């Protein structure tokens, strides 16, 4: 089992939106970074733990815990010419972009970015490193354990 931090802009899909969706599940669409895509396509497995992270908002941070519920499959938005995630180089025969489905485990009290930065146990957490802009990052099992046992309320 692996662990991940997946960023979503609450204006697009928030933890409350996820909670209101059928089966409390959403396709993690629109990823257009090859490294993040490769994490989904090549490494994520059903049941992997996910920190659902609100980004690009007034108070970024971990807003919930989720799990990977469906393995990677082609992201349909890449084929839709009217969609902002359209990719003219993609085809159904050779898709370039993939998504997984993520299902809510539980909504939590927000653990802010500034709070995360305050714990020496998380000093090496990839998403906290200077210059990191990936929307999906692996989480070390020790970091997952610390956050879920010490910070989740």
Parallel, antiparallel or unpaired: strands 3-8 and 136-139 = antiparallel
Nearest to 101 by CA among 38, 36, 48, 33: 48
CB contact at 8 A, 56 and 94 = no
pLDDT score recorded for residue 29: 93
pLDDT in tens, 4-27: 999 999 999 999 999 999 999 999
Residue 138's pLDDT band, with cuts at 50, 70 and 90, is: very high
The half-sphere exposure of 44 on its side-chain side, counting CA atoms within 13 A, is 32
Domains observed in the chain? 3-139 (3.10.590.10)
């Amino acid at each position: 089992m692996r662990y991940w931090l997946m960023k979503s802009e609450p204006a697009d899909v928030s933890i409350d939106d996820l909670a209101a969706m059928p089966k409390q599940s959403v396709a993690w669409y629109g990823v257009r970074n090859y490294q993040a895509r490769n994490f989904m396509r090549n490494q994520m497995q059903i049941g992997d733990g996910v920190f659902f992270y609100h980004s690009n908002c007034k108070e970024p941070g971990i807003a919930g815990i989720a799990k990977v519920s469906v393995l990677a499959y082609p992201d349909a938005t890449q084929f839709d010419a009217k969609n902002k995630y359209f990719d003219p180089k993609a085809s159904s025969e050779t898709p370039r972009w993939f998504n997984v489905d993520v299902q809510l485990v539980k909504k939590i009290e927000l653990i802010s970015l500034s709070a995360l930065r305050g714990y020496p146990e998380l000093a090496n957490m990839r998403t906290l490193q200077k210059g990191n802009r990936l929307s999906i990052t692996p989480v070390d099992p020790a970091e997952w354990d610390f956050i879920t046992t010490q910070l989740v309320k």
